[in-house]
Amino acid sequence: MEIFITGGTGNIGQYVTLLLLEKGHKVKMLTRTPDRIPAFLSMENLTVIGGTLSDYDIIEDAIEGCDGVIHIALGWGNSPYTMMKEDTLSTAFLLEAAEKKGVKKFIYTSSTAALGNLRNGMGEEALRVPTDLYGATKASSEMFVLGFKNLYEKQGVFGEEVKMKRNIIRPGYTYSNPAVEGGASQADMRFKNIADKIVRGEDITLPINDGTQFLSSRQIAEVYLKIIESDMNEEIFFALGNRFISWYEIALIAKELYPQSQSKITAVGEKEEPTYYSVEKLKNVLGLSFDGMDDMREHIKWNIERAVASKEGRMVHNVVHEFDK
């Protein structure tokens, strides 16, 4: 297949791109920073296209002849209007343009934030009750993806049925080492901050119950591959690990990986049973089950190495690609 990807140089997108290429697909990648990852510019079967989610003409030209669209990029805004304009509106345009161009498959990247606060055991069918603008943006875009069943001939009159198969992936906290030189990592700084404190020998105090079902971008890419190669339609999948990992555990691993550290790590609060998103659908339908710890130690080690380099005055490259997932 030939697949158009938005946000292909970002935290998740870099791994999705590489896995699709590995499996023999052709990829067209839309990115705001086409020169940021030189390795992508010379890869066979990969076309890098400079542009933003608001460059509608560029997008329409790029998806011509594509079999699939994977929408990963995030358009950000700081108010309800700008969030809607920069993200939801762009998603709606991409969705409609893909259908009109004859694209067969569309994957939208949402977030667990679309559901709001975690209720223990909640599955993909849980009610959307977002608690912030990011979650509201994701929830509203999800509704456009699922509600786009028909084009209208005129007000109140259905036209043709939408032929494109549309599915949704909801990652949670996604972390990654850069997939290639110049690649991205997550924008959240907590891994970095813990590593910096461990290397500097500073004490760390963390709530014992603060954590989540972490999953690496490398693992999440497998979910995209399974869905884009399938014929399923209007399905939603969490892309989450099957174990709860706390930030306290992460700090302990960091100390273990840098044993010369003089940091004292303290957990506060009373230990409670963690709450979970259900990942049964991921396992039962796609046959995927992820131990969130599989790539965790390597990611912590990578952050420790960067912290050591920074402490020694060596240059470390910026791994945050703004507005890319």
pLDDT tens for residues 219-266?
999 999 999 999 999 999 999 999 999 999 999 999 999 999 999 999
Instruction: Give yes or no for residue 322 having a pLDDT over 80.
Output: no
CATH topology of domain 2-172+217-239: Rossmann fold (3.40.50)
Most confident option among 144-148, 185-189, 318-322: 144-148
Residue pair 236/280 in contact by the 8 Å Cβ criterion: no
Other beta carbons less than 10 A from residue 125's beta carbon: 8
Q: Locate 206 and state its tokens.
A: 């963390």
Q: Model's pTM, two decimal places?
A: 0.94
Q: CA angle at residue 182 from 87 to 77, to 5 degrees? A: 20
Give the whole-angstrom CA distance, residue 273 versus residue 85: 40
To the nearest 10°, report the CA torsion of 268, 238, 138, 230. Answer: 160
Which residue in this structure is represented by tokens 């710890």? 293
Instruction: Give yes or no for residue 323 having a pLDDT over 50.
Output: no
pLDDT of residue 75: 87
Beta-ladder partners of 26: 2
Terminal alpha carbon distance of the chain: 23
Instruction: Give yes or no for residue 35 having a pLDDT over 90.
Output: no
Instruction: Give yes or no for residue 321 having a pLDDT over 80.
Output: no
Instruction: Give yes or no for residue 324 having a pLDDT over 50.
Output: no
Give the whole-angstrom CA distance, residue 75 versus residue 54: 9
Model confidence pLDDT, tens digit, residues 59-116 = 999 999 999 999 999 888 899 999 999 899 999 999 999 999 999 999 999 999 999 9
* No. of helices (H) and no. of strands (E), the chain: 11, 15
Total residue count of the chain as it appears in this document: 325
Give the whole-angstrom CA distance, residue 132 versus residue 54: 23
Position with higher pLDDT, 292 vs 16? 16
Average pLDDT over residues 15-41: 94
* Domain limits, the chain: 2-172+217-239
DSSP reduced 3-state for 3? strand
Instruction: Give yes or no for residue 153 having a pLDDT over 80.
Output: no
Q: Which of 267, 292, 296 is nearest to 277 (CA)?
A: 292
Q: What's the pLDDT band for 325 if we cut at 50, 70, 90?
A: very low
